[in-house]
């Protein structure tokens, strides 16, 4: 099942649980605007190359639309559409005043030089600058893009509209980016897991964790769980997997991974088959990949639209800081993130109780309900 079909299925199930009017349901599913632009740039060798850029702006009932821009050779309208829709429900679950959007350019960033990437980013920004904005649609980094990409978008956008740091989030700190954003998704995972464990009178300390993936999210989650007293017993990435029942030395693993471009060859544990990682015994598995398999086994799953909402929440804090022209220290960012993540978990649990559903459907029901209420209150039928 592709991403759009899976997201739409969850939405329809939530709409049914909420008893949404069929016209309203259809209205919530259809994107507000879909943008497709041609981006032609001179390559370093003087030849011209053309790329197709997309931006799907899904819904703005609860505030300006928000979502990443990815550079990947498989970027297609269906996937961008599904991810934009998912952002609408995710921002609503986190209860931040945004709608959802997503964008991308069909390219292989690894095959482009830095100057080619800059030219491509600036041409894309020129084509969409009048359709994004501080109170309209706020892009962020995603797969294949980073804080440098956002710096180029900010600079190009500012040529048309004046200096506008709040037009993108995930910027370098020197250009108004927020402290604490690098670790935000991993820290959000920690806070959401804490909230879930607290429901069962448990804490992070003493629990055995397995983490699938050791990129930005996985490595930060591992470090923060380790600091909180959790025992990370196995980790995998694209290069391999390693296990130590007594707990891995995360600081050494981070160092090894940075020096060797992956965890393969780490001598602080036993190498295991990455495919067996999901079946190893543990208390908490991050992330809950292969959700269908896990739910059939009766495993309690913390849904992704709640668990990974740390980054968009800190993006919201960045936007707030830019608009106020007043930056926060990292302690305040992390404290606010804990408040938002814990409250969102409580709100999801409340929906689970009132609609007698699991956490995944509770999260979707919460998100869809908030967007539907905002849509009706704004007078969508007028």
Known binding-site positions for NAD(+): 185, 216
The Cα–Cα gap between 243 and 29 comes to 43
Is residue 102 flagged as an active site residue? yes
**Taking a C-beta distance cutoff of 8 angstroms, is the pair 311, 141 a contact?**
no
Catalytic residue among 12, 23, 102, 264: 102
The count of other CB atoms within 10 Å of the CB of residue 349 is 17
**Taking a C-beta distance cutoff of 8 angstroms, is the pair 344, 367 a contact?**
no
- Binding site for substrate: what residues are annotated? 66, 90, 315
**Taking a C-beta distance cutoff of 8 angstroms, is the pair 117, 369 a contact?**
no
Backbone angles phi, psi at 66, to 5 degrees: -140, 135
Instruction: Report angle CA 20, 22, 23 to the nearest 5 degrees.
Output: 110
The Cα–Cα gap between 110 and 347 comes to 41
The Cα–Cα gap between 368 and 373 comes to 9
- Binding site: what residues are annotated? 66, 90, 185, 216, 315
Backbone angles phi, psi at 50, to 5 degrees: -115, 140
By C-alpha distance, which of 70, 71, 57, 75 is closest to 130? 57
What is the strand order of the sheet 208-212 is part of? 270-272, 240-243, 231-237, 208-212, 284-286
User: What pairs with residue 3 in β-bridges?
Assistant: none
Would you please indicate which residues are annotated as catalytic (active-site) residues?
102
């Amino acid at each position: 099942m592709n991403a759009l079909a899976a997201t739409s299925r969850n939405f329809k199930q939530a709409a049914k649980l909420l008893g949404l009017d069929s016209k309203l349901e259809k209205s919530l599913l259809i994107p507000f605007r879909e943008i497709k632009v041609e981006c032609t740039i001179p390559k370093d060798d003087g030849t011209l190359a053309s790329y197709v850029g997309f931006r799907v702006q899904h819904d703005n009932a609860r505030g300006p639309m928000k979502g990443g821009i990815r550079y990947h050779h498989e970027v297609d309208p269906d996937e961008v559409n599904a991810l934009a829709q998912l952002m609408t429900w995710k921002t609503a679950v986190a209860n931040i005043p945004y709608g959802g959007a997503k964008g991308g350019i069909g390219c292989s960033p690894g095959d482009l030089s830095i100057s080619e990437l800059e030219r491509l980013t600036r041409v894309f920004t020129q084509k969409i600058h009048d359709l994004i904005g501080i109170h309209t649609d706020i892009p962020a980094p995603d797969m294949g893009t980073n804080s440098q990409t956002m710096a180029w978008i900010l600079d190009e956008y500012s040529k048309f509209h004046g200096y506008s740091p709040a037009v993108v989030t995930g910027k370098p700190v020197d250009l108004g980016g927020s402290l604490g954003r690098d670790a935000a998704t991993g820290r959000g995972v920690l806070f959401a897991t804490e909230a879930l464990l607290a429901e069962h009178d448990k804490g992070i300390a003493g629990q055995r964790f397995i983490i699938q993936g050791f990129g930005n999210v996985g490595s930060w989650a591992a470090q923060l769980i380790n600091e909180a007293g959790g025992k990370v017993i196995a980790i995998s990435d694209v290069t391999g997997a390693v296990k130590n029942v007594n707990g891995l030395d995360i600081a050494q693993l981070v160092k090894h991974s940075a020096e060797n471009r992956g965890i393969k060859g780490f001598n602080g544990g036993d190498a295991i088959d990455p495919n067996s990682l999901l079946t190893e015994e543990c208390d908490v598995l991050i992330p809950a990949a292969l959700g269908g398999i896990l739910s059939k086994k009766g495993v309690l799953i913390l849904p992704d639209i709640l668990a990974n909402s740390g980054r968009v929440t800190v993006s919201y804090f960045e936007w707030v800081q830019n608009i106020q022209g007043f930056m926060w220290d990292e302690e305040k960012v992390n404290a606010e993130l804990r408040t938002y993540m814990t409250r969102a978990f409580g709100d999801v649990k409340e929906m689970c109780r009132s609609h007698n559903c699991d956490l995944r459907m509770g999260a979707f029901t919460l998100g869809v309900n908030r967007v539907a209420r905002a849509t009706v209150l704004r007078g969508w039928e007028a």
